Amino acid sequence: MPMSPGPESKTELVPGTLILLVLRVLDSGPLHGYAIAQRIRQVSGEVLRVEEGSLYPALQKMLMKGWVKAEWGLSDTNRRVRSYRLTAAGRKQLEAELTGYDHMNRAIRAVLKLA
């Protein structure tokens, strides 16, 4: 029986922001899965703790939507790794999500100030 992730799961991200983060990270160049996770951790100053494995279903969803393209290459240790590159559609999506995020952010802040 597939269980949906309950409230106790380790993702401390606002739902849906994972894809936004991945898109943003990939905007500066193609990366493989592990590097994406590392990057998010580094840039966020370890504040955002991604349950790292959940990156992969998210990447699959982005592949399906056509936002990223995947390519198999070789790592420094000569292992097969898959790196992801943003497509034009992905870039558009990133912009759309950023604007959406901004709106939301402003709205939340406005509420916080008032209260």
Residues that bind another protein (CB under 8 A): 1-3, 5, 10, 32-34, 37, 49, 51-54, 56-57, 60-61, 63-66, 75, 79-82
Q: How far apart are CA 91 and CA 103, in angstroms?
A: 19
**For another protein, the closer CB: 70 or 98:** 70
**For another protein, the closer CB: 62 or 94:** 62
Rounded to a whole number of angstroms, the minimum distance from the CB of residue 112 to another protein is 30
What's the token pair of residue 56?
């992969």
DSSP string, 83-115: EEEE-HHHHHHHHHHHHHHHHHHHHHHHHHHH-
